[in-house]
Structure 1
């Protein structure tokens, strides 16, 4: 037991060592030329991909607008044709149901 108390007193008496500050080599903590090249490459590729994506989205919107316009024209043509077909059997001299009231 006496040995345990002596070990505890010795541990409490000794100071915890602190590391001494050393000079850090800047070449080990900076990315260097290769780090810059790789970062620049990633940035350029990202810009090119975003530009291409915007161009493709714009092209898709234009195509969708053109298809909508063509479909509207087709529906208008069908409406005119169906109206002409419906009017083909009507006698303009014959009174309609509204006129007989």
Structure 2
């Protein structure tokens, strides 16, 4: 895995990162966005455009959000590696950990 999307994205999903990603590896779940670990080319373009600062390099994920590294990987267990988020669109299969979170934002 390269980059990870963490808690600040839950129920926010601004999607500026999707527009900036040159390889279309940021997928949309029902409650947050996820970076495909095998499709990401580690360019870092997504990180600075995230308005809620939810994207971290895997080694820099804050301790309180380490479970989001696994949640990002778990999102793709069912989805696999479709080769681009645009052709998939939004899916409803957030990992159980994400589904169990209390609503965030407004």
TM-score bracket relative to the smaller structure:
under 0.3
- More helix per residue: 1 or 2? 1
Larger Rg: 1
- More strand per residue: 1 or 2? 2
TM-score w.r.t. structure 1 length?
0.18
